[in-house]
Amino acid sequence: MKQKIRKGDTVEVITGKEVDKGKRGEVIKVLPKKERLVVQKINLRKKHQRAVQTQGRQLNPGIIEFEAPLHISNVMLVCPKCGKPSRVGFERTEEGLPVRVCKNCGKEID
Ligand SMILES: [Zn+2]
């Protein structure tokens, strides 16, 4: 499957929660089937952690923050070449391999 956004890419939040809009972050996880991705420090949620014992380790109770997945349509890829949130197209190299192309500056992303 052609994936427009991959792990390690930088994305900008274009829609969604006001606190996250315009923020950029690195994609740390892609969930292709759900069309969602997890972006570092974006869409932070808080979860109350009870004191639990797992594998002999004691987890302290308290509030932990974690990144909740965002829908892929809420973000745009930040092109590493021009630095702008850009639409992504696909082209083929001379070897016939698909490469991502920035529709803003026209340069290959991969
Ligand atoms: Zn570009």
DSSP string, 53-93: EETTEEEPPEEEEEEPPEEGGGEEEEPTTT-SEE-EEEEE-
* Maximum pairwise Cα distance, the chain: 57
* Distance from Cα 99 to the centre of ligand 1, integer Å: 13
Cα 86 to ligand 1 centre (Å): 7
Q: What is the pTM of this model?
A: 0.83
CA–CA separation, 94 and 78 (whole Å) = 25
| Separation CA 10–CA 24 (nearest Å) | 7
User: Ligand 1 centroid vs 83 CA: distance in angstroms?
Assistant: 6
Ligand 1 geometric centre to CA of 34 (Å): 27
Instruction: Give me the tens of pLDDT residue by residue for the chain, a chain 110 residues long.
Output: 578 999 999 999 999 889 999 999 999 999 999 999 999 999 999 988 887 777 777 777 888 899 999 999 999 999 999 999 999 999 998 999 889 999 999 999 98
Distance 68 CA to ligand 1 centre (A): 28
CA 45 to ligand 1 center in whole angstroms: 31
